[in-house]
A and B are shown apart, each in its own frame.
Chain A
Amino acid sequence: MVPEVRSTAIGPVGPLSSAAATTQRVSVRLAVQGGLVLAVLAAGYFLGSILGLSLSFPGTHVSSIWPPNAVLLAALLLTPRRRWWVCLLAVLPAHLLAQGLMGLPWTAVLINFAGNAGDALLGALLICRLTPEPKRFDRLRTVILIMVFGGIVAPAVMSLVVAQMFAGIGMDGDSWLTWRLRLLTNSLAVFTLVPLILLAASKIRSRDWRIAWRRSLEAGALFAALVAVGFLVFVLPTAGSDQPALLYLPLPLLLWATLRFGVPGACLSMVTLIGLSMWGIVREQGPFVAQHPLANATALILFLNFTCGSHLILAALLSERRQMERDRRQGEALHGAVLTSLHDHVGVLGRDGVILEVNDAWRTFAHGSGGARMQPGVNYVEACRDVASRDGNDSAAQAVVGMEEVLSGKRQRFQMEYAWGPPPQVSWFELSVEGLRRPEGGAVVTHTDITSRKEAELEAQQQRRELAHLTRVAMLGELSGALAHELNQPLTAILSNAQAAQRLLARRPVDLAEVRDILQDIAKEDRRAGEVIQRLRAMLKKEEAKILPLDLNELVRDVLDLAHGDLITRNIALETRLEPRLPLLHGDRVQIQQVLLNLILNACESMSTTRQAGERRLTLVTGRDVDEGLRLSVIDRGTGIPADEMDRLFEPFFTTKEHGLGLGLPICRSIVTAHGGHLWASNNEDGGATFHLTLPLLNGQP
C-alpha cells in the first residue's frame, strides 16, 4: 500500500508553491471574468447600435432611441475609474463594425466615436464626482444625477461638439436639429437603459436568484396588458391623430409597473412602449404620423422622455421610501427581540411615569405576583406610590422618590436593592432606573433578580463575622498571660487590704475610719477586676456589628487596659499622645478595639527582639486627619518592615510568625474599610514601623 502523494503535501517547496498556484488560479479566473464582461459590453454596444439604427424614423436617420452611449455609460459607472480606458478600448471595434456596416465615411465614424465616448465619459465623470460612495442606484439622488448629468447635460454638451464637428467637415445641414434629436435620443436611452443595467449588475453580483412566483405572474399580466394597450394606441390603424387622448391609456399601466415593480418595472415598461411605438411609426400608424417625419420623431421622443423621466423619479422615490420602511421595521424587530431576550424585567416609562412598553420577563413576573395591572398604559410611579402608602413599604417609597428624580432630570441614574416576598422565601431585587437621553425624556426601569448574589453576600458577611471572632479569640488567647497579670493586680490589692483590715480590727482601739477606707478600696478594686472581665467578654462575643457613636480616645484607653499587662511583661514603655476632645466616629466598638489591640500586639511583638531596654517604646497618637476624619498611629521602635514584605502585609495567610495564621492584618483592614477608613503601614526614619489608621467622622458618613 503505497501512500498517496498529494499535491498539497508539505515539503520543502510545498506550501509556498500551492499558495502561488492559488493566486495564479484566482487571477486567471478574474481575467476570464473581466474578458467576459468586456465582451458583453462590446456586444451590447454593437447590438445597441444596430437596434438604434433599425428603430430610426422612416425617411430620416434619426432613431428613437440610441442605446450604445447608455450601455457605455452604465459600464463606466460599474467599473473603477482606472479601468475606464479598457472599456473604451473594448467598444471601439464594436463601434467601427457597426458604423462600418452603415457605410458611413471614416471621418464620420471617428467623430461619432468621439461623440459617443465623450458622452459616456463626461456623464460618468460628473456622476461619480457628485455621488458619495458606495454607489446605490436605487437612491433617488443617484437616479436624478444619472438622469440630469448622464442623460441631459453630457449629451447636450457632446451633441453640440459633434454637431460642430460635422458642420466642420461639411456634413449635416441643420445642426440645431441634429443637436436636439441627438440629445433626446440619448437621454431616452439613458433614462431607460442605465438604471436597468445597473440594477441587473447588482442583482448578478448579489447572486440572489430567487424568484417570487406570484410577482412573476403579476409581471406577466402587466406585460401582456401593456403590450395590448400599446398595440392599441400605437399600432392599430383606427387609433390615430384624431384621438390624442388615447396616449394617456398606457399611463395607468405604467404607474402600476412603477408602483409594484419599482425602477426595473418603469424602465422595462418604457422599453416595451418604445418598441411598440416604433413599430407603429414604421407602419405609419399611431398618434405621431400626422406631420413631417422629423416633427413626428421629435414629438414621440419628447413624449417618451417625459413619461419615462417622471416615472423613473417616482420609482426611485418609492423605492427609497420602501427601503426606509424596511429598515425601520427591521430596527423595530431588533429592538423588540432584544427586549424580549433580556432576563431582567425591563419597562420603559414616559416622562410622566406611564408605562410605554415592557418586556416578556416583566409581564410574566407581573402576572405571577399579582401585579397584572402593571401593563403599558398604567402609571407605574403612581402605582408604586399606592403600594408605598397602602402597605407602608419603605422600599416602594424610596423607589418612588428615585424614579421621580430621574424622570424630572435631577439625576441620570437611581439604584436600590430591596427584598420581596414573605420570609423565609425572600427574594432580593435590584431596581435600576436610568434616564432616557432623548428630547421626550422618560426612563428605563429594570428589576434584576439578585437573590443568589445577595444570599452569597449575606453568607460572606456571616463568615467574615465568624472569622473576625475567631481571630479575636486567638488574639485574646495570646494575651491570656497578660490578662492574668491584669487581674492579679486588683486581686492582690483586695487581699492585702482585707487582711490589713482584719489586723486593724484586732487592735484596740479599732480605727474604724481606716477600715471604712479599706472596704471602699476593696469594692473599687473588685469593680476594676470586673471591668477587665467585662472587656474580655465583650471581645469574645460573636455578635452582629452595632454601629454607635464612639470616642476614639476612650477606645484606646480601654484597649490599653487589656494590653497593659502585656506591655509590662515585655518591658515596653508606653507613650500616648491623645488629642483631647476629638469628634466622635461611627462604628462597632468591639471591631475597632480588635483592630487597635491587634496593632498594639503586633508592635510589641516587633520589639521583642530589641535588646536595649530604652529602645522598647510604643507610641500611640490620635488626632484629626486632614482629609479623612480621625487618625490614629501606632509607632514602634522594632525592626521595621522589610521592603519585600511591605506589599504583602495585608495579604491573607501571609505571616512571618512561626505559629501565626496571617489573618490578623487582613481582617483589620477589612474592618477598617467597612467603616469607611484606611489602614496602612510605613517604616520610620529612626527605625521601627508605624501603622496608620484613619476613620471617618460621625457626620456625613454612610
Chain B
Amino acid sequence: MSSLVAPIVYVLDDDPSVRVGLERLVRSIGLEVRSFPSAAEFLHHSRPDRPACLVVDVRMPGLSGLDLQDSLAGSGWRAPIIFITGYGTVPMSVRAMQAGAVNFLQKPFEDQELLDSIHVAIDRENEARAEKARKQEVERQLAMLTPRERQVFGLVVTGLPNKRIAGLLGTSEKTVKVHRARVMEKMQADSLAGLVQMAYRAGLQPAAA
C-alpha cells in the first residue's frame, strides 16, 4: 500500500463492546482508528483530509448506516464504506452494494474478512486520491499555458494534423509546430499519447474533428 498520508478507519456502531473489539482489531494491523456511537456524532466531528474508510453498522439509533451512505454521497465526501450488521436482509445488502459499498458483512465476522475489506477500501481510497492528485497536477500545468497554447493543445489532443490545426486557427503550420513543441514541454509530455492521457485526466473532452 503506497500512501502519502496515513489512512484512518472510522468505526460507527452503537454497541460499545463491538466498537472496542473492532478498534483493537484494526489497530492490530497497524492502522489508526476512531470510533463513534452514532452517525450523527460522526457527522459532527471534523474530518482531517486523510485517506479514510468507514466501518458502519447498518442499524443504529437515529440515522441508519444506509441513510448515512446516502447523506455522505449527497454532501460529496467520498470514502468507501464497509457495512456490518447483526440483522441483515438481502434487499438491504443489495441496496448497500448498489450505492457503492465495499462489502456487507454479517456479525459475527472473521477478522480476515473485515481486514481484507479494509485493505480494499484503503487501496480504493488511495487510488482515488492519487487520481485526484494527478488531475490537479494536470490542471496546474494547463494553467501555465498561454491562451493560444491552450487552443493548440485542445486541438492537438483530438488527433488533427498540424496543417488542419493551422487552418482552423488561421495561422501558419510552422507557428502551430512551435506552439505544439512548447505545449509538450510545459506539460512535460513525451508523446501525443501522453498528452491525450493528460487531457483525459483533466476531464477535458476532445472536440470532434
Contact A565 B87 (CB under 8 A): yes
The answer, among B28, B29, B86, for a CB contact under 8 Å with A488, is B86
Interface residues of chain A: helix, strand, loop or mixed (majority): helix
On chain B, which size bracket covers the interface? Answer: 20 to 34
Contact B59 A568 (CB under 8 A): yes
Whether a CB of chain B sits under 8 angstroms from the CB of A177 is no
Inter-chain contacts of B28 with A (CB < 8 A): 500, 503-504
Contact with B along A395-425 (1 / 0, CB 8 A): 0000000000000000000000000000000
The residue in chain A whose Cβ has the minimal distance to the Cβ of B20 is: A521
Inter-chain contacts of B87 with A (CB < 8 A): 481-482, 484-485, 488, 565, 568-569
The residue in chain A whose Cβ has the minimal distance to the Cβ of B21 is: A496
Min CB distance A499 to B, Å, is: 4
Whether a CB of chain B sits under 8 angstroms from the CB of A492 is yes
Contact B62 A573 (CB under 8 A): yes
List CB contacts (< 8 Å) of B83-135 with chain A. Answer: 84, 86-87, 107-111, 114
Inter-chain contacts of A613 with B (CB < 8 A): 62-63, 67
Whether a CB of chain B sits under 8 angstroms from the CB of A228 is no
The residue in chain B whose Cβ has the minimal distance to the Cβ of A505 is: B28
Min CB distance A522 to B, Å, is: 9
Min CB distance B11 to A, Å, is: 10
User: What is the bound-complex CA distance between A521 and B15, given in angstroms?
Assistant: 13
Contact with B along A497-520 (1 / 0, CB 8 A): 101111110000000001000100
Whether a CB of chain B sits under 8 angstroms from the CB of A494 is yes
Inter-chain contacts of B25 with A (CB < 8 A): 496-497, 499-500, 503
User: What is the bound-complex CA distance between A528 and B16, given in angstroms?
Assistant: 13
Contact A496 B111 (CB under 8 A): yes
The residue in chain A whose Cβ has the minimal distance to the Cβ of B67 is: A613
User: What is the bound-complex CA distance between A161 and B29, given in angstroms?
Assistant: 146
User: Knowing A496-B24, A496-B25, A573-B62 touch, does A488 contact B17 (C-beta < 8 A)?
Assistant: no
User: What is the bound-complex CA distance between A573 and B67, given in angstroms?
Assistant: 16
The answer, among B29, B60, B64, B109, for a CB contact under 8 Å with A492, is B109
Contact B108 A495 (CB under 8 A): yes
Contact B21 A521 (CB under 8 A): yes
User: Knowing A485-B86, A525-B17, A569-B59 touch, does A492 contact B24 (C-beta < 8 A)?
Assistant: no
Contact A493 B17 (CB under 8 A): yes
Contact B64 A489 (CB under 8 A): no
Contact A492 B108 (CB under 8 A): yes
User: Knowing A491-B107, A495-B108, A495-B109 touch, does A484 contact B86 (C-beta < 8 A)?
Assistant: yes
List CB contacts (< 8 Å) of B30-88 with chain A. Answer: 59-64, 67, 84, 86-87
Contact A500 B111 (CB under 8 A): yes
Inter-chain contacts of B108 with A (CB < 8 A): 488, 491-492, 494-496
Contact A568 B61 (CB under 8 A): yes
User: Knowing A484-B87, A496-B25 touch, does A528 contact B61 (C-beta < 8 A)?
Assistant: no
Inter-chain contacts of B21 with A (CB < 8 A): 492-497, 500, 521, 525
Inter-chain contacts of A492 with B (CB < 8 A): 18, 21, 84, 86, 107-109
The answer, among A496, A499, A568, for a CB contact under 8 Å with B18, is A496
Min CB distance A589 to B, Å, is: 26
- Residue of B22, B27, B62, B86 most packed against chain A (CB within 10 A): B86
Inter-chain contacts of A494 with B (CB < 8 A): 21, 108
User: What is the bound-complex CA distance between A491 and B76, given in angstroms?
Assistant: 35
User: What is the bound-complex CA distance between A80 and B108, given in angstroms?
Assistant: 108
List CB contacts (< 8 Å) of A252-302 with chain B. Answer: none
Contacts from A to B (Cβ < 8 Å): 481-482, 484-485, 488-497, 499-504, 514, 518, 521, 524-525, 528, 565, 567-569, 571, 573-574, 613
8 closest A-B pairs (Cβ-Cβ)?
A: A496-B21, A499-B111, A488-B86, A500-B24, A493-B17, A503-B28, A492-B107, A493-B21
Can you list 15 residue pairs at the A/B interface with Cβ under 8 Å?
A484-B87, A488-B87, A489-B18, A492-B21, A493-B15, A495-B108, A495-B111, A496-B111, A499-B25, A500-B27, A503-B29, A518-B24, A571-B64, A573-B62, A613-B63
Contacts from B to A (Cβ < 8 Å): 14-15, 17-18, 20-22, 24-25, 27-29, 59-64, 67, 84, 86-87, 107-111, 114
